[in-house]
Chains A and B, each alone.
Chain A
């Protein structure tokens, strides 16, 4: 018998020549191997679980606990009190309907885009796909500032009177989430079998009827998934709402911020947090049910033979997508142009001012210092979330035979997705009140911000890496194992190469999201160690044209950094072939 154990103490290979061992001994060694392997998986899962427990459930739980108990006893009357307030009810309703409206708009505008960019082939398609993706990786602070500048009374579209309106907020939400729809639906559409629609055509259905009766039903699961994703993003929208909604409009998220940071009403914040968690969980459950129902009926095929050149009938799709492209370009162009306008005429004055602390010393440190701090923080957060995300993905990609283990994997999956829907503000404020006293005093630790950001980005990493691992043909792993590779070797030689592209994309995306993270960082960042989005938020809040100019310049720098990070990695990982890895979760 040749049995070797790797450094995790797992049995790597146990080849038993027939007859050389008693059956009972072979059985027991097999059992030990299985136990060792299970222990390895549990160990892999333990690291992320501990992290989530310490830095997500503990802070969020502390906040909620502190809000729901008065003087050590449960305070249910207070909960009903908070929920009974007309303002809270109004905000809850507004949160829901603006999210639904944003998602519906994004889907309506995104469908023609998905068709054009994934179903048709034309020159410059790769460039248009890239352009469409940019807004999704832009920090919400940047987008909010761009739209505020666009719709401001003295802005390019000031005459529309959209400043601070719901229409402006919806437009910004569509701007941010258009790519989610185009990519989610497009990825399915590109692989959709065209022949059912062709069969319908040959049976006498016109193009519109064939689309409505055959193609659309096949796309519905993808459309529903995109809708849910956009709905969640918009329902938990913070940066956009805070900067564009003013005092008139707010989501539960901005209200949690207002109650904690401005009014100090922890109880109201806790109730709102719970309300939001319930809402998000509800939406996710409905989405999961819909997905399970839809998946069985999809017919997919290789994407290459489905794309075809543009025809005249594609004109409406071209017009709609062109309109959206303008919507995507104009705000950013306006932002860049306005950042070049200083009180003394056109120039780079605003960018030079980034070396200072602003008009009336609005900031404690120069913006350039904050920039350096931002980059370091985002890098650490990206590294952390990719490490944890890969561990989680490896565990979640397993399809155990035993029912209990399958259940455990399923619950873990739901658990790590929770931060996606739990308010970043809640996480940030939870950090502030839970991690500033023993046993865990991280208040002055430079790791506090990266950890907070990693809590936000880890679910995104898992959502990008996991599908790739799950989609990998299990027979590849079996082939490697049959050829003599142990579990670690199989992972390094099969799984790692398969997910390398998604991993590169996920790293860049995590970096970009961490760089632009606003909700949690606002709380955690101390005044002397702010990140760029926090600085921008502070500059907007202060009066003075110099401060506004600096905010615009800083926003341009931040946007450029986010876009560059994503594009460099995408290009390095060979973005030309197949799907770029960004936003495909």
Chain B
């Protein structure tokens, strides 16, 4: 189990990570989610031992890692764009970490083949890494990181450099590989969809500190503050006006929270209509909530400037504590 207690990392005068507490239990995948520059990659590098820690402790199973150098931590690391060793072939890359584990040549070869199969690249061993596509390179990088059976796998935006369809396919494979190998992992990403898809729990990070931790469901339904709500996909935040709401409570809305409906109680004027896969996405100037996003069915016909009525759907909204 990885425990990060009050860790701070400085870059010169800049505080990149500021007093972070985080726990990664055995066998779980934790996503570290935040916008670029929030310090999530720096925190990951600190855990790997690549950045000096200015304050706090990083412990594995209770033992402080401060004096343990990178290569003795037994943590695997996977970068955004693979960072394969260009002067070694695919098998040479995957086998690199095995020679420090005391495996014999035959066993190492066997392990390399096993990993190539795991990531779906059987027979790729003798290929030069320059000839690999982006997706293949990432699969090799994953195999290389997993080969020495790390007790913790650190993934630094492993899918960010790939195009969308490839990313989705690889995300599913990554999830299944992590599950089948029961790997404990810390997964850094700026993409909430990725984080929620792959992680057991999510830690949302902003400006060097963690704003909220919880299961994807918890973060969705109970965002800790307005910033977190907006970061995970809520498009607008409003003062709650329902009778049951405590004073000061706010409501975060996704477009799906307001549905165009002739029976709806919210009145507004259409500002913009954009087609969406299952209907339209609307921007509406409302009387009560100002400009909001809303959705309409495939049969929605009103044009810009026309009046529209919206129905409130609680499934698309979350309450933010005061």
Q: Give A residues with C-beta under 8 Å from B.
A: 193, 195-196, 198-207, 210, 213-214, 217-218, 296-299
Residue of A nearest to B72 (CB): A204
Contact A204 B148, CB 8 Å, known A296-B130, A297-B86, A297-B87: yes
Instruction: Verify if B48 is at the interface (C-beta below 8 Å from A).
Output: yes
Within 8 A of A (CB), among B302-316: none
Within 8 A of A (CB), among B62-98: 69-77, 79, 83-87, 96-97
Contact A210 B86, CB 8 Å, known A199-B77, A202-B48, A203-B148: no
A205 in contact with B85 (CB, 8 Å): no
6 contacts between A and B (CB under 8 A): A195-B79, A200-B96, A202-B154, A205-B71, A205-B97, A296-B130
Chain B window 139-171, contacts with chain A (Cβ cutoff 8 Å), 1 for yes, 0 for no: 000001101101000100000000000000000
Give the complex CA separation of A298 and B130 in angstroms: 11
Give the complex CA separation of A11 and B70 in angstroms: 62
Contact with B97, one of A193, A203, A214 (Cβ below 8 angstroms): A203
Residue of A nearest to B87 (CB): A217
B96 in contact with A203 (CB, 8 Å): yes
Contact A206 B71, CB 8 Å, known A200-B96, A201-B50: yes
What A residues does B79 contact at CB under 8 A? 195, 199
**Closest 7 CB pairs between A and B?**
A203-B97, A204-B100, A202-B77, A201-B70, A297-B86, A195-B83, A201-B71
B71 in contact with A210 (CB, 8 Å): yes
Contact A193 B83, CB 8 Å, known A201-B50, A201-B70, A203-B76: yes
A196 in contact with B75 (CB, 8 Å): no
Interface centre among B74, B83, B144 (most CB of A within 10 A): B83
Residue of B nearest to A311 (CB): B52
A202 in contact with B70 (CB, 8 Å): yes
Residue of A nearest to B156 (CB): A195
Give the complex CA separation of A203 and B97 in angstroms: 5
A372 to chain B, nearest CB (A): 50
Give the complex CA separation of A92 and B73 in angstroms: 55
B101 in contact with A214 (CB, 8 Å): no
Q: A207-B69, A210-B71, A297-B130 are in contact. List 12 more A-B contacts (CB 8 A).
A: A193-B83, A195-B83, A198-B48, A198-B83, A199-B83, A201-B69, A202-B50, A202-B70, A203-B144, A204-B100, A213-B96, A296-B130
B75 to chain A, nearest CB (A): 6
B181 to chain A, nearest CB (A): 16
Give the complex CA separation of A204 and B68 in angstroms: 12
Give the complex CA separation of A200 and B76 in angstroms: 10
B128 to chain A, nearest CB (A): 10
A122 to chain B, nearest CB (A): 13
What B residues does A207 contact at CB under 8 A? 69, 71
What B residues does A298 contact at CB under 8 A? 86
A198 to chain B, nearest CB (A): 5
Contact with B100, one of A196, A205, A214, A299 (Cβ below 8 angstroms): A205
Contact A200 B85, CB 8 Å, known A205-B96, A205-B100: yes
Contact A202 B86, CB 8 Å, known A210-B71, A296-B130: no
Interface contact tally, CB-CB below 8 A: 73
Residue of B nearest to A206 (CB): B71
What B residues does A217 contact at CB under 8 A? 87
A198 in contact with B50 (CB, 8 Å): yes
Give the complex CA separation of A196 and B84 in angstroms: 7
B155 to chain A, nearest CB (A): 12
Residue of B nearest to A210 (CB): B71
Give the complex CA separation of A29 and B141 in angstroms: 54
Contact with A204, one of B83, B87, B101, B154 (Cβ below 8 angstroms): B101
B86 in contact with A299 (CB, 8 Å): yes
A198 in contact with B85 (CB, 8 Å): no
A297 to chain B, nearest CB (A): 4
Give the complex CA separation of A318 and B73 in angstroms: 28
Residue of A nearest to B129 (CB): A297
Give the complex CA separation of A218 and B84 in angstroms: 12
Interface centre among B49, B75, B77 (most CB of A within 10 A): B77
What B residues does A214 contact at CB under 8 A? 85
A119 to chain B, nearest CB (A): 15
B130 in contact with A196 (CB, 8 Å): no
What B residues does A218 contact at CB under 8 A? 86-87
Give the complex CA separation of A42 and B262 in angstroms: 77
A294 to chain B, nearest CB (A): 10
B78 to chain A, nearest CB (A): 8
A345 to chain B, nearest CB (A): 53
B101 to chain A, nearest CB (A): 7
What A residues does B144 contact at CB under 8 A? 199, 203
Give the complex CA separation of A506 and B73 in angstroms: 49
Contact A204 B71, CB 8 Å, known A198-B50, A199-B77: yes
What A residues does B101 contact at CB under 8 A? 204
Give the complex CA separation of A139 and B71 in angstroms: 48
Give the complex CA separation of A210 and B70 in angstroms: 11
Give the complex CA separation of A577 and B157 in angstroms: 32
What A residues does B87 contact at CB under 8 A? 217-218, 297
B4 to chain A, nearest CB (A): 17
What B residues does A196 contact at CB under 8 A? 83-86
A203 in contact with B100 (CB, 8 Å): yes
B71 in contact with A202 (CB, 8 Å): yes
B139 to chain A, nearest CB (A): 15
A216 to chain B, nearest CB (A): 10
Interface centre among A198, A199, A202, A299 (most CB of B within 10 A): A202
What B residues does A210 contact at CB under 8 A? 71
Within 8 A of A (CB), among B31-70: 48-50, 69-70
A476 to chain B, nearest CB (A): 25
Give the complex CA separation of A217 and B84 in angstroms: 14
Residue of B nearest to A194 (CB): B50
A202 in contact with B75 (CB, 8 Å): yes
Give the complex CA separation of A206 and B74 in angstroms: 12
Give the complex CA separation of A296 and B131 in angstroms: 12
Give the complex CA separation of A299 and B76 in angstroms: 21
Give the complex CA separation of A193 and B86 in angstroms: 12
Give the complex CA separation of A55 and B69 in angstroms: 61
What B residues does A193 contact at CB under 8 A? 83
Give the complex CA separation of A298 and B87 in angstroms: 9
Give the complex CA separation of A528 and B22 in angstroms: 82
What B residues does A205 contact at CB under 8 A? 71, 96-97, 100
A49 to chain B, nearest CB (A): 38
What A residues does B71 contact at CB under 8 A? 201-207, 210
A291 to chain B, nearest CB (A): 16
Within 8 A of A (CB), among B164-192: none
What A residues does B147 contact at CB under 8 A? 203
Give the complex CA separation of A201 and B87 in angstroms: 17
Interface centre among A193, A195, A297, A298 (most CB of B within 10 A): A195
What B residues does A199 contact at CB under 8 A? 77, 79, 83, 85, 144
A302 to chain B, nearest CB (A): 15
Give the complex CA separation of A66 and B97 in angstroms: 64
